[in-house]
């Protein structure tokens, strides 16, 4: 049983910063921040879960069945992530590429304490056994008692897992598969990394979020494993019997010159290649949603709409459906995972070719972070524009990718990757 209390906040921005610092006393932390971005279906400006009452960590073997049992056992809020490699639980696939991060493939916990913020209203939601902490916690957060920053290295040397010439070769191999008809689109990703490196996770996240301010930002701590995410993309949201997906395909750089910036946005809106990429994934998502939808209920609400973020312009589509009654929330996610925007089409063939050509195991990158509610609703982002950090191994990683189609130019695809990587590199090399 949970106990909830509501409080008015004088300054929600200041409180959110103090709340995140306060959370670092716990080993299990998920913080989700919409940055008050004006996008459909946003429920919270901030959501924090801390302290594991019960926890599930596992590899991909029967991972979705274990998650389903875990949710049914708790019938409560649970927060965590689904790594990309859970694809191997759904299909006869494997992940054999290099993994230097060593994150669990699936991780969820039932939090002792949940904090939700909407506008200037705070709701503290505690398991009954921890209700006595509520007043003291609130006073500690407001007082702004911050933990001492972890030591970190300001001279981080970023390395490329795939060098430029090798990248071009791999794109040509991907194009050969497309021209043969094996696939018609695939998302190809590359890793950038730093070894023997310590960073301050909180300060790095705050800097990354400040320069990006996306609608699906997140900070996750699982013991010594950290995710610092500035994701602009929603994977999947369940709200009652409604299911919503908002895939991104299509990117253009921002410019400080307003005229040039407007032209960049207009060019993206009218770019046939980018629209084609987006529409291919919309078709894939429509097919995924139809697996659990009432007949005739899958609707494209927005097609190829361009949204502007601090770092880039992005082309986003919104697809929704009405779920079959009694469909289990975990089964809904299983039917759509991994997200089409990070795989390609046809999905299984694309995932096989991705595994052959990429050098690094994706892990949490291009997976999803989010939560389930006691009522069976959920909301998950897509883990892109994110820094992954294993503090014990002193290993820092970020990956970027792009959709490869028959019209792709390898040089332009490479340049798009660098645009997407700019925020992470700026933060780490400051």
Give pLDDT tens digits for 196-242.
999 999 999 999 999 999 999 999 999 999 999 999 999 999 999 99
Instruction: Write the CB contacts of 424 (distance below 8 Å, at least 6 apart in sequence).
Output: 192, 208, 385, 386, 387, 398
**In angstroms, rounded to a whole number, what is the distance separating the alpha carbons of residues 372 and 108?**
10
Q: Which residues contact 256 (CB under 8 A, 6 or more apart)?
A: none
Helix boundaries (H) for 182-271: 201-212, 258-269
Residue matched to tokens 């995924």: 288
pLDDT in tens, 368-378: 999 999 999 99
Q: Which residues of 43-80 are buried (b: 16+ CB within 10 A; e: fewer)?
A: ebbbbbbbbbbebbbbbbeebbebbbebbeebebbbbb
CATH class of 2-140+160-428: alpha beta
Provide the angle, in degrees to the nearest 10, between the axes of the packed helices 12-22 and 201-212: 150
Per-residue pLDDT for 146 more than 70? Answer: no
Catalytic residue among 249, 347, 361, 422: 249
pLDDT at position 177: 98
Question: Residue 126 is encoded by which pair of tokens?
Answer: 């505690």
- Report the pLDDT value the prediction gives residue 205, as an integer from 0 to 100: 97
Q: Shortest CA distance to 360 belongs to which of 325, 400, 322?
A: 400
In tens, the pLDDT along 251-297 reads 999 999 999 999 999 999 999 999 999 999 999 999 999 999 999 99
- Please tell me which residue in 191, 233, 277, 416 is annotated as part of the active site: 233
Question: CA–CA distance from 371 to each of 67, 187, 236, 401 (Å)?
Answer: 12, 26, 11, 25
Residue 39 in this model has a pLDDT that exceeds 90: no
Average pLDDT of the residues in 177-191 = 97
Based on the residue annotation, tell me whether 249 is a catalytic residue of this protein: yes
**What Å distances lie between residue 27 and 24, 254, 348, 353, CA to CA?**
7, 37, 36, 37
CA distance 15 to 141: 7
233 is catalytic: yes
Structural domain boundaries in the chain: 2-140+160-428
DSSP for 189-204 reads EEEEEESS----HHHH
Strand partners, 318: 302
- 3-state class (DSSP) for residue 214: coil
Mean pLDDT for the stretch of residues 335-357: 97
| pLDDT digit string, tens, across residues 23-32 | 999 999 999 9
């Amino acid at each position: 049983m949970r106990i909830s209390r509501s409080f008015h906040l004088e300054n929600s921005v200041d409180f959110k910063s103090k709340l995140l610092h306060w959370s670092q006393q716990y080993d299990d932390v998920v913080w989700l921040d919409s940055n008050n971005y004006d996008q459909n279906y946003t429920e919270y400006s901030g959501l924090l879960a801390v302290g594991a009452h019960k926890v599930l960590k596992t590899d991909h073997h029967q991972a979705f069945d274990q998650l389903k049992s875990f949710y049914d056992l708790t019938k409560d809020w649970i927060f965590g992530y689904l790594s990309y490699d859970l694809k191997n639980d759904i299909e006869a696939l494997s992940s054999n590429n290099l993994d230097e991060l060593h994150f669990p493939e699936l991780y969820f916990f039932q939090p002792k304490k949940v904090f939700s913020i909407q506008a200037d209203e705070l709701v503290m939601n505690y398991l009954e056994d921890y209700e006595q902490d509520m007043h003291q916690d609130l006073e500690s957060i407001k007082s702004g008692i911050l933990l001492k920053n972890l030591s970190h290295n300001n001279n981080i040397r970023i390395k490329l897992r795939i060098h430029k010439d090798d990248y071009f070769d791999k794109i040509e191999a991907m194009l050969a598969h497309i021209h043969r008809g094996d696939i018609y689109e695939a998302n190809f990703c590359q890793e950038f990394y730093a070894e023997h490196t310590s960073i301050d996770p909180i300060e790095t996240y705050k800097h990354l979020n400040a320069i990006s301010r996306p609608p699906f930002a997140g900070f996750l701590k699982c013991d010594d494993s950290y995710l610092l995410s500035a994701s602009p993309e929603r994977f999947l949201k369940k709200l009652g019997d409604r299911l919503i997906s908002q895939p991104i395909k299509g990117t253009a750089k921002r410019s400080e010159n307003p005229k040039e910036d407007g032209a960049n946005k207009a060019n993206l809106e009218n770019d046939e290649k980018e629209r084609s990429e987006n529409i291919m994934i919309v078709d894939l998502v429509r097919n995924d949603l139809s697996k659990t939808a009432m007949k005739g209920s899958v609707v494209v609400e927005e097609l190829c709409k361009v949204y502007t973020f601090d770092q880039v312009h992005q082309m986003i589509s919104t697809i929704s459906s009405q779920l079959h009654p009694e469909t289990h929330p975990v089964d809904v996610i299983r039917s759509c995972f991994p997200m089409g925007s990070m795989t390609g089409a046809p999905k299984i063939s694309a995932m096989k070719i991705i595994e052959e050509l990429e050098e690094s195991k994706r892990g949490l990158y291009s997976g999803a972070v989010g939560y389930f509610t006691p009522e069976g609703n959920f909301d998950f982002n897509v883990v892109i524009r994110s820094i992954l950090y294993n503090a014990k191994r002193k290993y820092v990683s970020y990956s970027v990718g792009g959709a490869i189609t028959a019209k792709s130019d390898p040089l332009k695809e490479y340049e798009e990757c660098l645009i997407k990587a700019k925020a992470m590199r700026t933060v780490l090399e400051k």
